[in-house]
């Protein structure tokens, strides 16, 4: 089945869905976990510190729970310490807007990551804080994967809507700030990276990005066998696009993991990710995250330039958000070495890189890093040992 609630129910849980409206009118689906045999949240549950999970590109919040008892979100919920929320960016599977009723209107799809961090992320956080106004901290923990980390770090670095005061801490799974080797290796990425907006629109239009993928999903999710076919095709697509494989996953769950991706996104968002735009876009997004004028990607060894500056470096210590980066050494989609080097070279001295160990005292650490030798981009979500490798240290970090 393609009902996410079904897979949640297998773990004796259920989803409570909230519809929230962003400032620019998009309707977001926000889920909250609850025990299956309970009808409402107890006072004790409402007093727990919320944890918001934010997904990656072409994915949904299902990526955090479809591997069942081994999922990071369900594991945190079962600790009985946190109030777990699963966030979904705009359009998701139902592409609804309160303002623009017609999804054939180009204005409906005129958005990219800028609107997602300015409107989607801030709307989710503000709504959760409004619902959980009883907890003592009036803050949440934010856990993001891939694109979600980009949204989060841009928002944190610019302190959009005073987000730093709303976060207890931030956990980044496969943080995406610098492009990896794949951008210079995959022919289709190199091609899309080289064309301008006019030709990109000629190929992909100005509305939804390749909606045929969602139409195929609707056709193939009719029964058990066709669902397995769709899940396998989803795996093949991501395997071809990004060189990911399932060596570390439970292969009995593999097809299920891809049932809830891709989702509806705008062509403009894909252009943001793939095009080499010096003023905006992922390839130069470090400038927006770190608020500097240094071109880390195109200038030879420019990351060594001592004139680099950033917002985080100029903030007082009270506004610093403690962070934990989980990095796969086999992740070629992003460059983690450049990210770590930036923090080592230029960030506030309190952002000291600390390789995580279980013997480390984390209460005063602003930035923890755990490098995982055999992990790739999606393994931080779905590896069979993800609870031991990521779940345990992440829980200890949140608890501290």
Annotated active-site residue in 146, 157, 208, 376: 146
Q: What are phi and psi of 176, to 5 degrees?
A: -115, 95
Is 17 in a helix, a strand, or coil?
Answer: strand
pLDDT at position 291, please? 66
Lowest mean pLDDT among 123-127, 337-341, 365-369: 365-369
Strand partners, 34: 14
pLDDT digits (tens, 9 = 90+) for 315-354: 444 468 899 999 999 999 999 988 888 877 776 655 656 6
| Alpha helices (runs of H) in the chain, residue ranges in sequence order | 4-9, 43-46, 72-78, 113-115, 122-131, 147-157, 187-194, 197-204, 212-220, 224-242, 254-257, 267-274, 285-290, 336-345, 379-382, 386, 392-399
The H or E element spanning position 158 is: none
pLDDT at position 105, please? 87
- Contact (Cβ atoms closer than 8 angstroms) between residue 312 and residue 358: no
pLDDT at position 40, please? 78
Alpha-carbon gap, residue 26 to 98, rounded angstroms:
6
Which is more confident, 60 or 295?
60
pLDDT at position 297, please? 43
pLDDT at position 335, please? 92
Alpha-carbon gap, residue 396 to 400, rounded angstroms:
6
Alpha-carbon gap, residue 71 to 58, rounded angstroms:
19
Homologous superfamily, domain 4-399: Alpha/Beta hydrolase fold, catalytic domain (3.40.50.1820)
Q: 121-145 in b/e burial notation, b at 16+ Cβ within 10 A?
A: bbbbbebbbebbeebeeebbbbbbb
Q: Is 146 left (phi over 0), alpha (psi -120 to 50) or beta?
A: left
Mean pLDDT to the nearest integer, 143-164:
94
Strand partners, 87: 30, 54
Query: Which of 46, 71, 70, 69 is CA-nearest to residue 61?
Result: 71
pLDDT digits (tens, 9 = 90+) for 255-310: 889 889 889 999 999 999 988 776 788 988 888 887 655 444 443 334 344 444 44
Query: Which of 191, 237, 232 is CA-nearest to residue 213?
Result: 237
Alpha-carbon gap, residue 280 to 277, rounded angstroms:
5
pLDDT at position 241, please? 80
- Contact (Cβ atoms closer than 8 angstroms) between residue 267 and residue 201: yes
Strand partners, 31: 17, 86
Alpha-carbon gap, residue 112 to 269, rounded angstroms:
4
Q: Which two tokens stand for residue 341?
A: 């080097």
Tell me, yes or no, if 331 is annotated catalytic.
yes
pLDDT at position 290, please? 79
Q: Which two tokens stand for residue 302?
A: 């420019």
Dihedral of the alpha carbons of 78, 135, 5, 2, in degrees to the nearest 10: -110
Q: Is the pLDDT of residue 8 over 90?
A: yes
pLDDT at position 309, please? 47
Domain map (residue ranges) of the chain:
4-399
DSSP 223-261: SHHHHHHHHHHHHHHHHHHH----TTB-TTTHHHHTTT-
pLDDT at position 397, please? 92
Residue 352 carries which DSSP code?
A: -
pLDDT at position 299, please? 39
Q: Are strands 82-87 and 27-35 parallel, antiparallel or unpaired?
A: antiparallel
- Contact (Cβ atoms closer than 8 angstroms) between residue 150 and residue 381: no
Using 50, 70 and 90 to split pLDDT, how confident is the model at 364? low
User: Is the peptide bond between 299 and the residue preceding it cis, with omega within 30 degrees of 0?
Assistant: no
Annotated active-site residue in 70, 83, 331, 379: 331
> How long a stretch of residues is the chain?
400
Q: Are strands 13-21 and 27-35 parallel, antiparallel or unpaired?
A: antiparallel
Is 304 in a helix, a strand, or coil?
Answer: helix
What are the angstrom distances between the C-alpha of 381 and each of 69, 73, 245, 291, 327?
Answer: 12, 10, 13, 30, 12
- The residue to which tokens 């961090």 are assigned: 117
- Contact (Cβ atoms closer than 8 angstroms) between residue 320 and residue 351: yes
pLDDT at position 306, please? 43
Tell me, yes or no, if 342 is annotated catalytic.
no
Tell me, yes or no, if 55 is annotated catalytic.
no
């Amino acid at each position: 089945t393609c009902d996410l609630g079904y897979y949640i129910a297998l773990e004796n849980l259920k989803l409570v869905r909230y519809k929230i409206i962003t400032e620019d009118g998009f309707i977001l689906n926000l889920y909250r976990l609850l025990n299956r045999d309970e009808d409402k949240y107890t006072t004790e549950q409402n007093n727990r510190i919320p944890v918001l999970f934010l997904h990656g590109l072409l994915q949904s919040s299902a990526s955090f729970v479809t591997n069942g008892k081994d999922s990071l979100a369900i594991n945190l919920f079962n600790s009985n310490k946190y109030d777990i929320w699963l966030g979904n960016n705009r359009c998701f599977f139902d592409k609804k807007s309160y303002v623009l009723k017609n999804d054939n209107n180009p204005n409906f799809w005129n958005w990219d990551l800028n609107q997602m961090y300015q409107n989607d992320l801030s709307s989710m956080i503000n709504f959760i804080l409004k619902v959980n106004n009883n907890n003592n901290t009036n803050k949440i923990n934010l856990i993001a994967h891939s694109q979600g980390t980009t949204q989060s770090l841009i928002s944190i670095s610019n302190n959009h809507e005073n987000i730093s005061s709303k976060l207890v801490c931030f956990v980044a799974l496969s943080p995406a700030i610098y492009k990896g080797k794949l951008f210079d290796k995959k022919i289709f990425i190199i091609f899309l990276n080289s064309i301008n907006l006019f030709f990109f629109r000629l190929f992909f239009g100005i509305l939804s990005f390749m909606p045929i993928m969602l139409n195929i999903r609707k056709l193939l999710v009719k029964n058990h066998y066709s669902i397995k076919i769709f899940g396998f095709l989803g795996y093949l697509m991501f395997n071809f696009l990004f060189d990911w494989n399932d060596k570390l996953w439970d292969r009995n769950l593999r097809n299920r993991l891809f049932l809830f991706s891709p989702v509806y996104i705008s062509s403009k968002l894909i252009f943001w990710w793939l095009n080499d735009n010096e003023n905006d876009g992922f390839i130069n997004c470090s400038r927006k995250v770190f608020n500097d004028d240094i071109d880390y990607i195109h200038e030879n060894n420019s990351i060594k330039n001592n004139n680099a500056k950033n917002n985080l470096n100029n903030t007082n210590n009270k506004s610093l958000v403690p962070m934990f980066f989980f990095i796969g050494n086999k992740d070629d989609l992003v460059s983690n070495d450049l990210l770590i080097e930036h923090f080592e070279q230029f960030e506030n001295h309190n952002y000291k890189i600390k390789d995580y160990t279980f013997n480390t005292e984390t209460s005063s650490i602003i930035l923890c890093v755990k490098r995982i030798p055999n992990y790739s981009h999606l393994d931080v979500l779905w590896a069979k040992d993800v609870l031991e490798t990521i779940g345990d240290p992440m829980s200890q970090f949140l608890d501290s």
